[in-house]
Amino acid sequence: MYKKDIGIGLAGITLALSGIFYLIPRFIVVPQQLDSLALSPAFWPNIIMGILLFTSTVILFQGLVARRRQRCSPTKKTDSLSTESTDTYPLDGPRTIVLCAAVGIFFCYYWLIDHIGILLSSVLALLALMGLGGERRLKVLLPLAIILPVVLYYFFTRVAHVYLPQGIFYSYP
């Protein structure tokens, strides 16, 4: 398992560093004068890449520590070859179907945003994903699927002044 952690850690660090030093400066246009650093178009991408760099570094160190512990612990070679790793989850049967359904729901969500708006499509996507995850209680499903998108929508449109697609609820002049 430690080999996967080391590989994922290195891949994440590579992606984060390439984002910070190449992708963001090259593809995000930043105006010369800004009132605040937080208003920069590159602010949140840099924050996300910083978080990716931090978490990937933690995963890398966990993999290195696990590798060191495994090499230091006395184990028989026959035991390590005969036992299979039980900490992985193979994608067989129902797991594959759930994964494919979740990916399909996200594609439908992405497509619906332009047609019916982000608010209604978020409600439908949350209902579908929570149902796919096994939640069946309507007392939990409906309030969460309706209140969360509405609160986030009004925060971004009214407080942060971010334009969000409104779909059928808005007619262009």
Phi, psi of 83 (to 5 degrees): -95, 140
**pLDDT at 82 (0 to 100):** 47
pTM for the model stands at 0.56
Convert the pLDDT of each residue in 34-57 to its tens digit. Answer: 777 777 889 999 999 999 999 999
Which two structure tokens, joined as six digits, stand for 13?
């660090």
Q: Which residue has the higher pLDDT, 12 or 91?
A: 12
Q: Is 32 strand, coil or helix?
A: coil
Convert the pLDDT of each residue in 134-156 to its tens digit. Answer: 999 999 999 999 999 999 999 88
Domain ranges of the chain: 2-82, 94-169
Write the CB contacts of 45 (distance below 8 Å, at least 6 apart in sequence).
Answer: 19, 24, 28
